[in-house]
Amino acid sequence: MISIETDEYRFATKNKDFYLDVIQSLKETPKRLSSKYFYDKKGDGLFEAIMMSPDYYLTRCEMEIFTCQAKQIVERITGQNSDFELIELGPGNCAKSIHLLSALVNANVSFNYVPIDISENVISELQSFLPENAPDLQFNGLVGDYFDALAHHCLLPGARKVVMCLGGNIGNMTIAEANRFCKALRSYLQPGDQCIIGFDLVKHPAIIKQAYDDRDGLTREFNLNLLARINRELDADFKIDQFDHYCSYDPLTGSAKSYLVSLSEMSVNISGVSIPFEKDECIWTEISQKYSRDQIHQIAADNGFIHVVEFVDSKSWFMDALWTVV
């Protein structure tokens, strides 16, 4: 149990949750930090750079799907009753979804777009990016954790919903977490509502490993920025040069995992709480789960969805699955 009496006065509410989560996760064995905290202004910029990296194939594959197959996706989601709310969970810079948004606007489809992201910076950048790139788009962005934001969002009464969760978002969950996520998502939806979920497909392990250990060290910088963010926002004293980035991929489980490795025995102070580190101790910071087609069908079936159609890139490396709520 963590006492936050004094710290309650130190941090605004949003940082209090961040603080409590960080302390709790670093007191666990093995130590953990949630990947959702990667995304501050610096982290958002680094992730954009990763998306352009020749080694990070995920964005290129999904971009191909959204540029080449936007028309087919529009046909599948508009149906007969074209009024709907298009909710995107964790849109980042919308680099891929903007192609679908533009295609919908150009087809004169009546819909409202609701991007939900935990990064305030992401939503604030979209406030200028969306009007510039899709001038007639109706949208209202929400800052928050996926389901906190969904719970507080006044969904348009009676409007059909289409929920998108693209790129690495569901991949950043373990398979058990992905199942819980899909079950929770289902509880906000009605029969006939739809989801478009991005899944990275299993492929040669070397290609996957390289994506999280890119030649320019961007993933390394992205991973280490998490400690720098904790220093900046939670009054901590991590010595960043005393930590290293390490990643692994296990083809048997389909899990790519990133860690921060402590290079010496040390103690880190986070707002008065001391966290000891052994030399070579790891903090697990990210999972990037890869899926087979059968696993994707199973997740849909187990959580109240029908797997209707799949949009796949020309290399069959990435899938955007379209599911309908049963």
Ligand X SMILES: C[S@@+](CC[C@H](N)C(=O)[O-])C[C@H]1O[C@@H](n2cnc3c(N)ncnc32)[C@H](O)[C@@H]1O
Amino acid (1-letter code) at residue 32: R
Tell me how far, at minimum, the Cβ of 158 lies from ligand X, in Å. Answer: 26
**Residue 241 CA: distances (Å) to CA of 26, 43, 104, 132, 228:** 19, 18, 47, 40, 11
| Per-position b or e across 208-238, b if 16+ CB within 10 A of its CB | bbbbbbbeeebbbbbbbbbbbbbbebbbbeb
Residue 119 touching ligand X (CB under 6 A): yes
CB nearer to ligand X: pick between 148 and 244: 148
Residue 201 touching ligand X (CB under 6 A): no
Residue 289 touching ligand X (CB under 6 A): no
Residue 169 touching ligand X (CB under 6 A): yes
Q: Which of 47, 111, 181, 249 binds ligand X (CB under 6 A)?
A: 47
Residue 168 touching ligand X (CB under 6 A): yes
> Regarding beta strands 318-325 and 305-312, do their DSSP bridges make them parallel or antiparallel, or are they unpaired?
antiparallel
Alpha-carbon distance of 199 to 312, in angstroms, equals 10
Residue 117 touching ligand X (CB under 6 A): yes
Reading across the β-sheet that carries 255-262, which strands appear in turn?
31-32, 282-289, 255-262, 243-250
Residue 181 touching ligand X (CB under 6 A): no
Q: Which of 69, 91, 212, 305 binds ligand X (CB under 6 A)?
A: 91
Residue 141 touching ligand X (CB under 6 A): no
CB nearer to ligand X: pick between 140 and 264: 140
Alpha-carbon distance of 38 to 69, in angstroms, equals 31
Alpha-carbon distance of 58 to 219, in angstroms, equals 14
Which helix (H) or strand (E) element contains residue 146?
helix 146-152
Residue 42 touching ligand X (CB under 6 A): no
Q: Which of 118, 130, 178, 195 binds ligand X (CB under 6 A)?
A: 118
Residues near ligand X (CB under 6 A), total: 18
Interacting residues toward ligand X by CB under 6 A: 36, 39, 47, 90-92, 95, 116-119, 122, 145-146, 166-169
